[in-house]
Structure 1
Amino acid sequence: MGLRRSGRGQDGTTPRGTAYGAAAAAGAVELRGVHRRYGRGSAAVHALRGVDLTLPHGSFTAVMGPSGSGKSTFLQCAAGLDRPDSGSVRLGGTEITGMNENQLTVLRRSRLGFVFQAFNLLPSLTVEQNVLLPMRLAGDRQDRARAGELLARVGLQGKGGRRPAELSGGQQQRVAIARALVTRPDVVFADEPTGALDTTTAGEVLDLLRDAVDTLGATVVMVTHDPVAAAHADQVLFLADGLVADRLPRSSAAAVAARMAGLTARPHPAEAA
């Protein structure tokens, strides 16, 4: 499944169904000097302190860090769910920092996929309708053949007519993965996607995300606290105090856990001063 994007519509987003063009040379996710602060004065919390990174197309990146390190803020700013106070965010070669809410909504519906810990399926819709929801919201023709293809890929062939309540937690997360991939997004953002699953089911879900990268050319950015989950990624980014403190290429869960332990043991800048 190739990711196809080029040109730009009147709303500032890039239309789907066309060739990548120059955007292919850019990263799937690019942050430059991104700062995000909550509150003011002495009570201000500096969640991101100037993050710079580029994540390539067709890659799987895990993001880890201690509590309060900026993981959630990073994901929200990178996905256009929150606005940085300064800096630049580009997705699939498109600058999103200056977009208005309508433009961001169009972008999120058509060019981004999301997988959350709580699945976020609509209980009143069938499995197939949940998968097709991003197409419906984007005003596109609902491609039932594509939905069926993705459901088969995630092991749910023949279950398109069921309701989410009829499925196990692991099956619901599989539906969420199919939904995230249905529009051939530039990036799939996954926020603790295995947090509500048992170990075996979590492994199956992570294998599906890995397969989406390896065989469909998807780009996955996953926030996780679990070294086993992070071991499925091509690289692990470690955040601390709002900055990228360390990187680790694809490694074992033990190596990820050891690096995370070392990061957690480092003193906070205020404590080191």
Structure 2
Amino acid sequence: MRLRKGKRQTVDERPTAPAATPGLAVELRGVQRQYGRGTGTVDALAGVDLGLPRGTFTAVMGPSGSGKSTFMQCAAGLDRPTSGSVFLGGTEITGMSEDELTELRRSRLGFVFQAFNLLPSLTVEQNVLLPMRLAGERQDRRRATEVLAQVGLGDKARRRPGELSGGQQQRVAVARALATNPDVIFADEPTGALDTGTAAEVLGLLRNAVDTLAATVVMVTHDPAAAAWADRVLFLADGAFADHLERGSAEQIAARMAQLTSRTGAMAGAVA
């Protein structure tokens, strides 16, 4: 910090970053995300307060337009909230520069998307090692071998994505997410492009990463069957968490979603 000449600044006067809550992998404090201006302002997130413990599997659900995608983007440092604070792995990220956020995402976060997002020109092993390469770290081939074995693809390292089935490609994406031992794995509709049986296999891998590797998984999904793999399901409505369910079955989750959708629809109709 550069101080003005002739004035000394004591330690107590220096601005300090807010302290993260111990034991939480993801923490949001008063997070708002607004789009537009004036009368056209939309509150995609309306003051979200949330803490997710390390080593847990959380599913986020909600009606269309509830703020699910905005929540994930803000929580993962892909978008900046209008106000509030976001902590990942104990680090406050809200004031980070774009370069700092990029480095954090490459080295401390894992991502699994519906579209797999594998580079077709690279081998399976090279795709898994890509986060290390982009972060400027040594590409640990032993680590790639280890995570590919964990997802049942130990014999596919030299193949290219186009030679694999959709389920196998998503397994590669999970292996890539695990490769850097991230603080948090964010999964955005990871089973949306898969059949029921293959989806269960991929969800089983994410569940296993939590149970045996102490990973933290945050998954946005519209599928109650997928959400049933989580420890807790959070329900978003109008940019705020309106309900939650601990270890619910697919039937219980579907029923809770139906109630929420009906309630929010009735409220929208009353306002109109």
Per-residue Cα deviation, 1:38-86 (whole angstroms, up to 9, x for no partner): 1112222210000000000000000000000000000000000000000
2:188 aligns with 191
1:124 aligns with 121
Per-residue Cα deviation, 1:159-188 (whole angstroms, up to 9, x for no partner): 100000000000000000000010000000
CA distance, structure 2, for counterparts of residue 49 and residue 267 of structure 1 = 15
1:238 matched to 2:240? The reply is no
Relative distance call for 1:250 and 1:24 in structure 2 (3 A) is same
CA distance, structure 2, for counterparts of residue 242 and residue 183 of structure 1 = 31
1:76 matched to 2:80? The reply is no
Q: CA deviation at 1:26?
A: 3.5
1:15 aligns with none
1:248 aligns with 245
Contact 1:24 1:92 in 2 (8 A): no
1:37 aligns with 34
Equivalent residue runs for 1:8-157 within 5 Å: 25-157=22-154
Relative distance call for 1:133 and 1:24 in structure 2 (3 A) is farther
Contact 2:237 2:264 in 1 (8 A): no
Per-residue Cα deviation, 1:140-199 (whole angstroms, up to 9, x for no partner): 111111111110110101110000000000000000000001000000000000000001
Q: Which 4+ residue blocks in structure 1 deviate beyond 6 angstroms?
A: none
1:261 aligns with 258
Equivalent residue runs for 1:163-182 within 5 Å: 163-182=160-179
Give 1:228's match in structure 2, choosing from 225, 250, 267. Answer: 225
Give 1:206's match in structure 2, choosing from 203, 213, 227. Answer: 203
Task: Report the AA paired with residue 243 of structure 1.
Answer: A
Q: CA deviation at 1:32?
A: 0.4
Q: CA RMSD of the aligned region, Å?
A: 1.3
Pairs aligned (count): 252
CA distance, structure 1, for counterparts of residue 199 and residue 38 of structure 2 = 42
Give 1:162's match in structure 2, choosing from 159, 163, 169. Answer: 159
Q: Secondary structure at the match of 1:84?
A: coil
TM-score, structure 2 normalization: 0.90
Relative distance call for 1:92 and 1:194 in structure 2 (3 A) is same
Q: CA deviation at 1:87?
A: 0.3
Q: CA deviation at 1:24?
A: 8.7
2:10 aligns with none
Contact 2:20 2:92 in 1 (8 A): no
Q: Secondary structure at the match of 2:51?
A: strand
Q: Secondary structure at the match of 2:24?
A: coil
Segments of structure 1 that go 5 or more residues without pairing to the other structure are 1-21
Per-residue Cα deviation, 1:203-235 (whole angstroms, up to 9, x for no partner): 000000000000011000000000000000000
Contact 1:32 1:53 in 2 (8 A): yes
Q: CA deviation at 1:272?
A: 4.0
CA distance, structure 2, for counterparts of residue 114 and residue 188 of structure 1 = 6
Segments of structure 2 that go 5 or more residues without pairing to the other structure are 1-18
Q: Secondary structure at the match of 2:106?
A: helix
Task: Report the AA paired with residue 138 of structure 1.
Answer: A
Relative distance call for 1:150 and 1:24 in structure 2 (3 A) is farther
Q: CA deviation at 1:271?
A: 3.9
Contact 2:116 2:173 in 1 (8 A): yes
Contact 2:28 2:85 in 1 (8 A): yes
